[in-house]
Each structure stands twice: as structure tokens, then as C-alpha cells.
Structure 1
Amino acid sequence: MQFYKELQLSPNSLSMKISIKHIFIIFLLFFVSFAKAQKTTINFIENDYKLALEQSKTSKKPIFVMVYATWCPHCNKMKATVLKDPAVIDFFNANYINVMMDGESPTGKDFMKKFRVTSFPTFLYLNEKETHLYSTGGEFTSEEFISESKKALNPNTQLPYLESQFNDDIRNSESCLLYLNALRKSIDRDKTDEIVAKYLSTQPKDQLFTAINWKIIAFGVNKLNTKEFDFILDHQSDFAKVASPKRVEAKIVSVVNQSLKHNMESLDSIGYSKNRILAKNSNLTKVDSLVFKLDLQMYEACKCWDKYKQTTLESVQKWAWSDYKTINEITKIYIQYINDKEALQSAITWAKRSVELNDSAESNLSLARLYNKTKDKKTAITYARKTKNIITAMGWDTKEIDQFYLDLGIK
């Protein structure tokens, strides 16, 4: 009985023990919540690749670098969606030392130069020795992004392994295709033409035109000034039998577009002129139409208005006669930069065609402005009134047309 009494707790003692228990539970819940909160973002190191490299050497984890630009919509979308997905956060925090690199910062520019990064966003995977394991770019879903990032962790899908497999047996189409598939998404995609050249040099002439060889060419040929591109042009009908005429044509157009746009972006007029000649050798209507549009973009970028005028006068009716959007773009350039009277009369003809194709406010306003530029104020007023009627009916902002009314003296 005495023993039992000693075991009994006083009300105060019991209350104190219950309070301690409650405090412990509250503390535990807080700790768990805090721990979870710590995992709501990827542990990014901002713009400090050297620190990431040190941590990689210590932890033996590979490095993941996202190279972005603040103005890049694809970068911002990935940041706002995929990189905030809990599954993505857990995956990257568990497997990588993560770096967020602003490609326009001084550090970022140095990093891009070192690893030959040329586009945003680029996702680069390196080991502690700075070996390029894998890379890709663009937008992904969470599932796709994790899947791509797992390839950098798997020795059998890393670029060094795929390269060694290809070099061990250059004749092997499967190893070539696997290597090309990884390369063409990577920062080393400019190497694909060289890989295709090596592979094709090992193939018997009577076995060149196969479905697998076309796939290799489709994956790997990306430059105009190569023997491999000439080979496609010379054997379009042969490859069409194992692929299809549309696929062969689409590949040729893609190579032309990619090569000429690269020259345009760097304002390389000499390179553009050389590649343009090669492109025209394809004798494909779609290529000629594409080259016409790219010519105009190149001349606009270089402010070569005489060449712009000459090209449009020669080719609008051939390559843009059913394309009101292109016609409207051309007439806007004429309104702003071309003063030749005869050329402006041609532009009026094009603008009328645009109105026929699409009787829109934009088409009518361009026509009104062209008439005004050629001193035909009466006709300019007619089309200006028509433009305002369309804009008013649609409930759009009338600021631009109201200003043009003032310029024309319309009350």
C-alpha cells in the first residue's frame, strides 16, 4: 500500500509532466515542418561555379548548371513551374550540386565561353573533373526533365561513354545513332556533321540508302557547306524511297533555315551570301520561298534598303502573293525607308493584294499610309476612314489611327 502511494502523482506533478509532453510534441511538429520547408526549393548556388566544383570534389556528386537569361521566356517558365515541383526538387537536391548561372553576368559570360554555351536555357551536367557528362536545353515537363537528368547519372547514357562506343566501331549504325541523339541536344551539337561524315565513310556504296542511314543523316547533318549536305541534294530520290519525299524536303529546308539564321544572328553577310548560293542549289520551291524571306530579314538587319527594294520588286508576286502577313511586313518597311516613287507604286499594288486576302485594319492602314506617302491624300483618307471603322467596330484602341487622322487633317 505504501509502495502504491509512492507511485501516485500529485496533481501539480501530473500537470507539469503533461505540459512537458505537449511542449515536446509541439517542438517535434515544428521541427518536421521546418525540415519540410527546407526542401521547398532546389539548393542552388548562385553564379559561383568554383564553389560548386569544390563541393562536387568533396561530395563526389556531379554538378548541374542551369544557364539562363532574365529576359528568356523559356527560362522563366522552367523556373516558375518545373523547378518548383517537389519531385524535381527532391531529385536534384539528392543527386547534384546545383548552380543557377545568369548568362549575362560577368561570371556567366565567362562560364558560357568556357563551355561553349550559346542558347538559353541550357542545362549542363559535369563531374568533379569538369567532364561534360550530358547537356540539353529548352522547356520540359517535370517528368521529362527528371528523365533527361537521369541520363547524366547513368554511365551508359553519358556522352563520354557514347563517344567511346562510337569510336570503337565507327561502322556500327546503332552506336552512331545513340551518340548523335545525345549530341544533337547538347552544347556539342556542332560535332554531329563530323560524326556523320566518319560513319558514312565506312559504309559500302551499295548500302548507303537505307532507313537507318537516313535517320543518321537526319539527326546529324546540320550544315550547308558539307559534303554530306551535297550528298543529300544529289540523292534526294534515293533517300525518298527509304524515308519519304516530304521528309527529305523537310530536312533540306531545316538545314537551310538553321545555317542562314545563324549567319543572320551574327550579321555575317559574307557567310550568308556563300550559304545562300548553296541553298539555292537545292532547286526546291520551299527553299526558294524561305530564302526570299530570310533575305529580307538579313537586309533589314543590315539596313541594306537598296537590296531590300530590289529583292521585293523581283520576288513579292512570286513568293508572297498569297501571304498577307509577309506583304504587310514589306509595306511597313516601304512606308518607313523606301522613297523611290515607282517602287512605292509597286508597294501600293502589294498592299491592295493584302486587303484582298485579309480585309483587316492593319492591311487597310498600310495602304492608307502608302497613298499618303505618294501624295494621294484623297485615297489615303478613304482607307484611313475604313481602318477606323474596323478598329471602332472591334472595340480596339484608336490612338494610332486618331494620330493618323490628325496627320491627314481629318476632323
Structure 2
Amino acid sequence: MKKNLIGIFLLFSTLSVFAQGIEFEHSSWSEAVKKAKAQNKLIFVDVYTSWCGPCKVMSTQVFTRPEIGATYNQGFVNVKIDAEKGEGIALAKKYEVKSYPTYLFINPADESLFDRSKSSIAAADFNDLGDRVITKFSGKKEISLAELDAKYKSADYDEAFSRAYIKRLKAEGKSTNPVLEAYITKFITNTATSDQLYFIGLNFTKGAGSKLYDYMIKNYKEIDAVLCKNDGVSAANLYSKIRDEAKSKIDEVFKSNGVISVGETELNTLFANLNAVEISERKDKKVLEYKIRLYSSNNDTVKLIEAYRAYISRFLLPADKTATIGKEGIIIDKNAPLPVLGIDSAGASGWCSNYALRLSKLSKQSQDKKLAISLCKKAITLNKSSVVKNSMNVTIYNFGDKAGAIKQQSDLIAEMKVSNDEYLTNAETTLQKMKDNESDIPVFSYKRKLQKKLQH
């Protein structure tokens, strides 16, 4: 009875550890190495930094999953190191870590690198990574890729083999798309099951063939819903891939045919594909950017002004909560995604100023002046530099309020003299051009050194 109770206690203790996800060591590197030697296990090392978005995603969305804990707690001694603090600095240098997160699998016998991976990885793929490394370390022979290739070419295989083959190709860094397209043709006759949709979404890569791409666009909502339910990281990864694919197809049309020769009718299908995968708050954002390029090249002023109005009103004046969605963001709730960085930053002020200036050169209507001035004020709220204020004054000048622009530019110059602003000469040149009633006054921008500083 006592033995049974001990066994039950150990079982529940083990399950408790696994249920918590990966259990990381809270000890020195040397102690972790000593423990791994004693248990004859590899050391799994998560190399991160405090500012790394994907690192936080992996820590909160993947490492905490029970199935990940089951694999990694049983197969490895797990360690987290901050590459910018303590022992992490030397270890990151020793193992030549160049990006974050990086995952190292270290042989404790001589502290040599046994295997490695990086970036945000979907939970299922991260689990497969652990299993493959454990199998490799155990010395078990794996079926060669050449043997798998031969069986696939024979066409005599079932769905289980097809899935295993696709996963192996993915692990080897090879394109899965041709085989994934064949998988859909061979095994999905009518409606795909949730399990099949999950598998397809998890294993789609960029550069898809036209049939597979069309399938992904047509079934994106269903695939995305399944991914969101099972694994937010895989949903974010697929969103990024499909969106990039949709954008690249539009870019190809622009580059190959030239914007002037391409009409809206020809682009509407491509725009629809882009919007099919876009988050609701961002629908039409990229489409409007493409249309602005189209109307500008075709000198279609009426449509260009309409496009600017829509873009400014919908995407520049309001805060864009989804500005940086991608691999670093978890798209579980389409209406409330988690951005890594907000668009309301100093760098965005130049974007706002630029669009206000563009509109001021096209229209003299009061509604457009009001819209542009509101955008300039937002730019100044984000960045109160003389460069941004000067841009606002030129915008006012372009809308015909020359007296008001000259007054504000004079006031700005007075401020700049007090602060010994390095752009004082530029501002004075702008003022003189206003007084000379010049029709096209260029704005000055940050010097290269300051631009780099703002980007960081």
C-alpha cells in the first residue's frame, strides 16, 4: 500500500511539473551542466533579451503549454539566459548567438553545441524540434530523407506518411508547398476536417504555387480560426506569410507591367485577396497605399485626393492598434490583437507630416485643409521638433493661408534662436521663400545622423 501511495505521489508530482510547461533551472551554468551530466541529458538553453518581442511570445504562449513541458522536462535540463546580463553575456558570445530568441541544445560532456534553432516557433513545431533532438542524441537511426523521397514518388502512401514527410521536409528547411498541395488533392475530397486545416495552416510556407495559394486564400478564415483555437503563434505566423504573399503578388504586377498600365479592375482581385486575410482594423490600409501609387502615376487627381482623404481619416488620425502585427503578435482576437509597438511614436510624426503635405499640394478645399492641419497637429503631438513644425507651416502655406504661415514660421524661428536649433538656417530659408511667394517650397528633413538615432 505504501509503495502504491509513493507511486501515485510521484505520478502526480510529474504531471504537475508537466502541466506547468517547461521547468527552467534556477542555478548557475556550471550547476546546470553538472545536473545534465548526472542525468545524461542535453541542456536546452533559451537565449533571450528583455526587449525581445518574440522571446516574450514564446515564454508566455509556448513554453507554458503542458505538452511542451512533457517533452522538454523529460528530455532536457532547461536553462534560460539573458544574453545581456550575467553569465548570459559570455555564453551568448561563446555560442555565437546573433538573434533572439535562439535555442541551443548543449552536450554537457564537453559543453559543445549539439543542435540549435531560433525565432518564434509554433507549439507543435517546437515540440517536434524537442523530439527530433532527443532522438538524435539517443543514437536512434532516423529514416533517411532519400528513402522518404522515394516512397513519396511511388505515390503508394497514406495520409499519415504524407504528414510525416511534410514535417520532415519542414525540419530539413525544404519547401513543403508542392507536397502540401498534393496532400490536399489526394486526401481532402470534400470538406477538410479541423485537424486537416490545422495541419495545412501549420505547414504552409512562402512562395506557394498558384493552386495552393488560391486554396489558402479561399479557406483562410477557417484555417485561421482553427489555428487561433489551438496555437496563437501559428496563427500569427500564417497571417504574416499569407499577407506577405498577397502583397508580393501585387508588387509583381506593379514591377512587371508598370503602374501606369495597370487598371483598378486588374488589381481588384489581388486587393480582395489581401483584404481576405487582413485584420478588420487594417482592411483597405495597404490597398489604399497601392491605389495612391496607382492614381499618382496615372495623374488621376480626383481619385488620388479621395484616396488620401480615406487613408488619413481611417489610418493616420486614429491610433493604429495593429501597426506591427506579425510574428511578434498573437492574433487570437481579430478585433483586439496585441501589438508590439504602437504607431504613436516619434518616427510616425514624419509619416503624418508627409501625408498632410501631399494633400496640401493637391487640394485647396477647406475640408482637406482641416484634415491636413489635424494630421499636422498629431505629428507635433508625437514629435515637437522644429522639423515637424516647419512642415506644418509649409502645409498651411500650400493651402493658401500665406499670412498665417509666415506668422507661424516667424514665431518658430524666434523659438529656434533661443534654443540654438541646428536647423535655424533651413527655417529662415523657408520663411524667405514664403515671403517671395514661391509656389513650391520644399521642406527640410532630419540630418542622417539624427534619422538613425530616431530609428533606434
- Given the two structures, how large is their TM-score scaled by the length of structure 2? 0.45
Which fold has the larger relative contact order, with Cα–Cα distance below 8 Å and residues 6 or more apart in sequence? 2
The structure carrying a bigger helix percent of its residues is: 1
Q: Rg: which structure is higher?
A: 1
